[in-house]
Structure 1
Amino acid sequence: MMQIKRFITHSLGASMVALCVSSSLFAQESDGYNANSIRPIHESDQLYKTRVWRRMDLEEKQNKPFFSTNREITQVMINAVMNGTLYPYTSDSLNERMSKEQFIENLTIPADGPALSEDEIAMGFGQQEEAQEDDGWGGGWGDDSSSSSGQGAEGTAVESSASTSEASASTNNLFYATDVTILEIMEDIIFDKSRGRQYYDIQSVTMILPPEMFPLTGLQKPVATFKYMDLMRVFEENPEIAVWVNPYNDAKHLNLKHAFDLRLFNAHIVKYSNPEDEYIIDKTGGDRRSALMESLNYEYNLLEREHELWEY
């Protein structure tokens, strides 16, 4: 009888331990908070949530402070990836990291440029580099380092030029940070019922090369996606260059993190959650004017919904 009681007691104890462990693991896996949010809101406090994608054109006047000379936000992002302090991702799902080699490949200028016509070739287009290399005057005009090196031994000159080309190949074939003029922002619009306020919870930022960089195809090219929380950390760690430049008051420049918190950027909605996972431009059959009107209408409906919740 005593052995049966001990067996039952031992079994119950083991079951309780297993139940506690499993419940703690379940709580860690689904604690109700978004791991990619800087200021997460528990799902039980969310009255509604809508995910939208916004297109931020860095060449727009309102966005110029994010894209000031020598302080471009894209340059900060590229430098952080190159020195290993920022991890890129393959998509805004943020599930798969992108290798540094793939990131560099996405920034590499394609070798197939637009073909020249016979008239353009006859006029001398595309032959500028050959003329500079062999123009019969010992290199370029004026003080040129290649002409001075050419006065030495022939083998030395060839070796130095080869090493220079290898060293600069990785940078000369890449797009500049000023060429990346589009940022796509994915964010959740959440109304917190416990605080009675609507929040904009940015999840990721994607760098995109505009269609102007690819005249043959006319298609934009995503470079990489970054976690918003990782970007904010990088901006805080680089206060000298991660600067939102105030065009009206030099004493009131801001860190890019604070500029995003204050939503000083302009970015219109290009996509919202839908079963087909389509962009607005796809829903309008490629009509850009209709897509813009649909985007503005959706934005106004979001504001109206927040206003109506305050009414009640």
Structure 2
Amino acid sequence: MKAAYNLVLLCLLAVSTVASAQTPNNPEQQPNSFTLPGAGEDNPLMQDGEFEPPMNDIVESQSIRERRVLPYENLREADIMWKRRIWRVIDVQEKINLPFINPQRPLITILLEAAQAGDLRVFDPIGGDNFSMLMDQRTLTSMAGGIDSVRVLDPETYEEKIVLQERLFDPTSVKRYRIQEMWFFDKESSTMKVRILGIAPMIQETTESAGRTIERPMFWIYYPEARQLLANESAFAYGNDAANRSWEDVFEYRFFNSYITKASNVLDERIDRPERSGREQLLDSERIKQEIFNYEQDLWSY
């Protein structure tokens, strides 16, 4: 009986010794202290001391970032038996065009970020729409935001002073996009084809002198140079988040609605002139569209 009693005492003494050895002496490491999850230096969720957010999806999307565009087929001048330059306008407020103003990443944000990073050339609309004048970096930077000097009146001393105010670009100010494209008939394949040449976001501004809202192109993008950039940027696809639709797909497969505002003519006149009514502009736009369709159909005999 005494041997059993001594054995129990030895077991209790061993347990108390192990427990005291595992108790930390550092007060910062006491069990009562609380440490945020992921705050350890060797935690894989931390990179350079910054929190790395988890993947907000079920699989990491790689197909868009790794996509490579196919080059256009070579054309011979002798095979182009007819062509016509067309200007269109995309109204982003139409339902099919709403991906252009997706609040998470609108198209204008993609273009401005690439232009400011030097990944995309932008052309000044002062030189026209023939891509003849590059926009300088200072103009581009001031267009996308900056610091303005504003004169304000001090309510206490009634003295006028200059205050620096940050100016941020508002993506919602771009309501429409102008598209320049070339329609042509390829004799080799006996098909009517179209290639987009340029894209210009149209910004709305209110003039201080006249007090009315005007619309002007911010800059021109030469579309063949921007194809690879647009192919690596996702565009929203209705009803299927796994569609992997890129902005290059939107323009190449014509996932947008537009109307014609100008066609090449001897007087270089636009359809959407202010003196013309909306009905006249719409009828002219449909007439030009029908002329392109009829030209291809008239080449065939049935």
Q: TM-score range by the shorter chain?
A: 0.5 to 0.7
Partner in structure 1 of residue 234 of structure 2: 243
2:195 alignment partner, one of 193, 201, 207 = 201
Q: Per-residue displacement from partner, 1:156-188 (whole Å, max 9, x unpaired)?
A: xxxxxx9xx86xx5xx42432232222111010
Contact kept, 8 Å, 1:103 with 1:223, in 2: the verdict is no
Supply the distance in 2 between the matched residues of 1:279 and 1:174 (Cα, whole angstroms).
33
- Scaled by the length of structure 1, what TM-score is found? 0.63
- Alignment partner, residue 51 of structure 1: 85
Change in Cα spacing, 1:40 to 1:274, as seen in structure 2 (3 Å) is: farther
Corresponding pairs, count:
222
On the 8 A contact 2:84/2:184 being kept in 1, the answer is yes
Cα offsets for 1:215-235 (capped at 9, x unmatched): 823221211001001221212
Change (3 A) 1:253 1:245: farther
Task: Kindly state the Cα deviation for residue 77 of structure 1 after the two structures are TM-superposed.
Answer: 0.2
CA distance in 1, matches of 2:272, 2:174: 21
Q: Which amino acid aligns with 2:289?
A: E
User: Are residues 235 and 87 of structure 1, via their aligned partners in 2, closer, same or farther at CA, if it must alter by over 3 Å?
Assistant: same
- Is 1:270 aligned to 2:251, yes or no? no
Matched, 1:299 2:293: no
Superposition map of 1:1-312 within 5 A: 38-91=72-125, 92-107=129-144, 172-210=166-204, 216-236=211-231, 239=232, 242-282=233-273, 285-311=275-301
Q: Counterpart of 2:75 in 1: which secondary structure?
A: coil
Same amino acid, percent of matched pairs:
23
Displacement after TM superposition at 1:308 (Å): 2.0
Root mean square deviation of aligned Cα = 3.2
Rounded to whole Å, the distance in 2 between the matches of 1:55 and 1:181 is 10
Q: 1:233 to 1:212 in 2, by over 3 A?
A: farther
For residues 137 and 278 of structure 2, what CA distance do their matches in structure 1 show? 35
Where does structure 1 lack aligned partners over 5 or more consecutive residues?
1-36, 112-125, 135-161
Highest CA radius of gyration, 1 or 2? 2
Alignment-mate amino acid for residue 305 of structure 1: Y
**Counterparts of 1:47 and 1:86 in 2: how far apart (Å)?**
33
TM-score, scaled to structure 2 = 0.65
Query: Following TM superposition, by how much is the alpha carbon of 1:107 offset from its aligned partner in structure 2, in angstroms?
Result: 4.7
Is 2:178–2:201's contact at 8 Å kept on the other side of the alignment?
yes
Kept in 1: contact 2:143–2:169 (CA 8 A): no
Contact 1:74 1:178 in 2 (8 A): no
Structure with bigger helix share is 1
Contact 1:66–1:256 under 8 Å retained in 2: no
Kept in 2, the 8 Å contact 1:57–1:181? The answer is: yes
Question: Deviation at 1:301?
Answer: 2.0
Structure 2 Cα separation of the partners of residues 105 and 69 of structure 1 = 22
Q: Which amino acid aligns with 2:77?
A: E
Indicate conservation of the 8 Å contact 1:108/1:174, yes or no. Answer: yes
CA offsets per residue over residues 247-306 of structure 1, 9 Å max, x none?
211121401111211111111110000111111123x83322211111112112211222
Structure 2 unaligned segments of length 5 or more: list them. Answer: 1-70, 157-161
Q: Which amino acid counterpart does residue 252 of structure 2 have in structure 1?
A: D
* 1:291 partner letter: Q
Aligned to 1:33: none
User: 1:49: Cα distance to partner?
Assistant: 0.2
Counterpart AA for 2:218? V
Which secondary structure state, in structure 2, belongs to the residue aligned with residue 209 of structure 1? strand
Higher relative contact order by CA 8 Å / sep ≥ 6: 1 or 2? 1
2: CA distance, partners of 1:107 / 1:251: 32
SS at match of 1:306: helix
Q: 1:264 to 1:311 in 2, by over 3 A?
A: farther
Q: Is the 8 A contact 1:235 1:255 kept in 2?
A: yes
Letter in 2 for 1:233: Q
Question: In structure 2, what residue type is equivalent to 1:83?
Answer: A
Greater mean alpha carbon deviation, residues 191-200 or residues 82-91: 82-91
- SS of aligned partner of 1:210: strand
Distance between the aligned counterparts of 1:108 and 1:221, measured in 2?
A: 17
